[in-house]
Structure 1
């Protein structure tokens, strides 16, 4: 069976209201990732950038044919420890937290890790399918039948995230294998897109042009709708090829080394675990 990879693009914007960008994104042949600093908490840009850096470093340091579920689980576990260390170094960061949605191509298939309210979507033909479940209070209320999806936009607690990667306690992260095939297009995005742009427009823009064109048009649509939050869109086409490529594209807070708790720690730790870099 041929190996499959992503042909990726990444775009991020601070929006029209926020003073800084607390979103982080990463896109490579083997990994797509978005992390969104949880609103209202301290140092959201540090949390998102550092967690994105940890996960990308673990993938960079991984061996081919390494168990992808174990790899992502280890990365998230270290990300929690990394944030905890960041708070010990600087107590002003107490409370920092981030969402995480990451999609890994390992040569044998694809694995999705998710916590928070950033989202992952699959576009196959004309059909858009959400791959993730929002870890939010309003989603819990929907699941319990106490509100409908039509109530979400006006709900006073619509922005409350009930799970995240934070410094205080080990995160509860969903890690599952997903079935993707050549010709599929995937989208990972922060809620700066989905809170403002309806699904029917997301489908039209996502299905138009190259991954680069689609990612930019999605960001532009969020800005045109008011841009009240940071917005990050990571788009990847599934195609034949080697996913074990040692470079990628950073966007948002992940671009600025000042936002990283310890730029060397994650890669060093991943290498200590016995991984090899080609």
Structure 2
């Protein structure tokens, strides 16, 4: 699910969901550049993910995410070169990728990935923000983080800099029955974790996603809101065919710079 919210004029979140991948990118920048950055990086990662070989080597997931992110970064550079008013545009990226035996998280920025197992919610990603740094270094109490005036200052993102460190690549402890959430801060900033856990554990994945979106909008919807809910199931199925659902800024091909042959279609869950 993705929604522009009650305050913003444009949806600068981009999302994608398919049987083996769930992704959210939250763009920033002027001159409509946020949605271009998010869609460009999302499309590049989707292209890499949908080109996965059925018989993947142990490190293929990490390689796929690294290659996709690098290609997205190149797209941002080209977009800035084409229009210098886009200078400074960037995007977060949080993606979960599965090859049938492993799940890997690729993450940079302050969008988040969570896992809920047996009713217990755990944040899998680490926020790359100034406030998270203060909390980790003991300079700020965790309870005060949500009220800090600089809580949305992001220290790392995909911003077109070829010297950038790239995304964190983290193997995920995953088991059949686990449910995962990938979301932009338009959800996590407005809905407390205890409510997130309650809503995420409710009913089928699509109902949980709708409930989470509704909660963020009811809490003010002051930012774009995107959430992808994924259930890990143990079953045999066909190899990934590249067909999935695009969300937010990724629904407009004009937002994507040099996307390559991204074989994606808009499904019924895509929204404004």
Answer yes or no: same fold by TM over 0.5.
yes
Indicate the structure whose relative CO is greater, using CA pairs within 8 Å and at least 6 residues apart: 1
How far the C-alpha of 1:245 sits from its partner, in A, is 3.3
Cα deviation 1:2-47 (Å, max 9, x = unaligned): xxxxxxxxx0001000011000110001110000013668610000
Aligned counterpart, 1:5: none
Count of residue pairs the alignment pairs up: 257
Q: In structure 2, which of residues 191, 203, 206 is the aligned counterpart of residue 209 of structure 1?
A: 203
Instruction: Give the structure with the larger strand fraction.
Output: 1
The correspondence of residues 192-271 of structure 1 with structure 2, limited to 5 A, is 192-239=186-233, 240-242=235-237, 244-264=240-260
Cα deviation 1:101-143 (Å, max 9, x = unaligned): 0000112211110000000000101100110000000000111
Query: Taking structure 1 as the reference length, what is the TM-score of the superposition?
Result: 0.88
Aligned counterpart, 2:159: 166
Between the aligned partners of 1:149 and 1:258, the Cα distance in structure 2 is 40
Q: Structure 1 segments of 4 or more deviating over 6 A?
A: none
- Residue 142 in 1 paired to residue 135 in 2? yes
Between the aligned partners of 2:29 and 2:223, the Cα distance in structure 1 is 9
Query: Taking structure 2 as the reference length, what is the TM-score of the superposition?
Result: 0.90
Gaps of 5+ in 2: 264-272
The correspondence of residues 1-278 of structure 1 with structure 2, limited to 5 A, is 11-38=1-28, 43-64=33-54, 65-66=56-57, 67-169=60-162, 170-239=164-233, 240-242=235-237, 244-264=240-260
Contact 1:41–1:95, Cα closer than 8 Å, also in 2: no
Between the aligned partners of 2:126 and 2:231, the Cα distance in structure 1 is 22
How far the C-alpha of 1:252 sits from its partner, in A, is 0.5
Structure 2 counterpart SS, 1:24: strand
Between the aligned partners of 2:109 and 2:64, the Cα distance in structure 1 is 20
